[in-house]
Amino acid sequence: MQAVPVRATAIPSVTDALRAVESLVLGSGQRTARRNAWTAVLEDRRRAKDRVEAEHVLEAAADHHS
């Protein structure tokens, strides 16, 4: 009896499924606009996190010098 090779098929993620639906529903211009908007949201979140961290450092430095 000869061994049959087994193929592992990756299960698509929710993100992959949403991108597939997005590509069917939206034109390329809308798709690009949505991705750009999401990139801007992520960048805003990163800046907000950095701002909070900077505030904590400044507060700690102010407490240290008091």
Amino acid at 31: R
For the cut 90, the answer to whether the pLDDT of residue 61 exceeds it is yes
Say what the pLDDT of residue 6 is: 66
Cα separation, 56 vs 63, in Å, equals 10
Residue that wins the pLDDT comparison between 16 and 9: 16
- Rounded to the nearest integer, the mean pLDDT of the chain is 86
Say what the pLDDT of residue 38 is: 94
